[in-house]
């Protein structure tokens, strides 16, 4: 699990077969506190700490998420995201979680979606490596390193905008080719 909500979660969603969003039964407007997008990529939402004094709140949050998921587009053609209660303290809900994970995997295999996911993962990973290598080569280019401080100074002094600074750096790199 990756903490926080942001781009890392979306990257993680591309790396896994099943994206499970684990949330606490926190008080307040839970759905407003979590970006809608991260809920949209979830194949399963687990409300943790569904025990003791927090059980009632966990049930309320689970109902909130279940209702919200009804209005969101399903990410998988043969799967409707579910919301379940679990307690890592008591173990309640863990058998149901594993059962759901197994059913999810079976639906991916049966529909051919697992093969499609694997191909898409390979494509994403390839382009991620390409982007990282382009970035590494670019930032280590002697021509870029030579002009970097000068362009950054112009940027920091607000003599040029970030977009113009980027264009100047990109133009330097293209001239070497």
Does residue 11 lie in a domain region? yes
Q: Give the percent of the chain with pLDDT over 90.
A: 72
Question: Measured in whole angstroms, how far is the alpha carbon of residue 117 from the centre of its chain?
Answer: 15
Residues 147-161 have pLDDT tens digits of 999 999 999 999 999
Do 81 and 26 lie in a common domain? Answer: yes
Show the domain range for 29. 7-112
Residues 104-118 have pLDDT tens digits of 999 999 999 999 999
Residue 34 φ then ψ, to 5°? -115, 135
CA dist., res. 27 & res. 73, Å (int): 26
Do 156 and 92 lie in a common domain? Answer: no
**CATH code of the domain in which 80 resides:** 3.40.50.300
Structural domains of the chain, count? 2
Do 28 and 108 lie in a common domain? Answer: yes
């Amino acid at each position: 699990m990756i903490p926080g909500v942001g781009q890392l979660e979306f990257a993680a969603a591309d790396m896994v077969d099943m994206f499970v969003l684990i949330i606490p039964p926190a008080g307040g407007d839970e759905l407003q506190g979590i970006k809608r997008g991260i809920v949209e990529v979830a194949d399963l939402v687990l409300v943790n700490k569904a025990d003791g004094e927090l059980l009632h709140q966990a049930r309320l949050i689970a109902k909130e998420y279940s209702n919200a998921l009804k209005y969101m587009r399903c990410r998988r053609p043969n799967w409707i995201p579910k919301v379940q209660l679990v307690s890592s303290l008591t173990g309640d809900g863990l058998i149901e979680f594993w059962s759901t994970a197994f059913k999810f995997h079976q639906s991916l295999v049966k529909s051919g979606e697992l093969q499609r996911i694997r191909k898409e993962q390979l494509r994403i990973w390839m382009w991620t490596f390409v982007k990282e290598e382009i970035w590494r080569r670019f930032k280590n280019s002697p021509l870029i390193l030579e002009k970097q401080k000068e362009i950054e100074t112009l940027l920091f002094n607000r003599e040029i905008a970030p977009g113009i600074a980027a264009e100047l750096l990109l133009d330097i790199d293209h001239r070497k080719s």
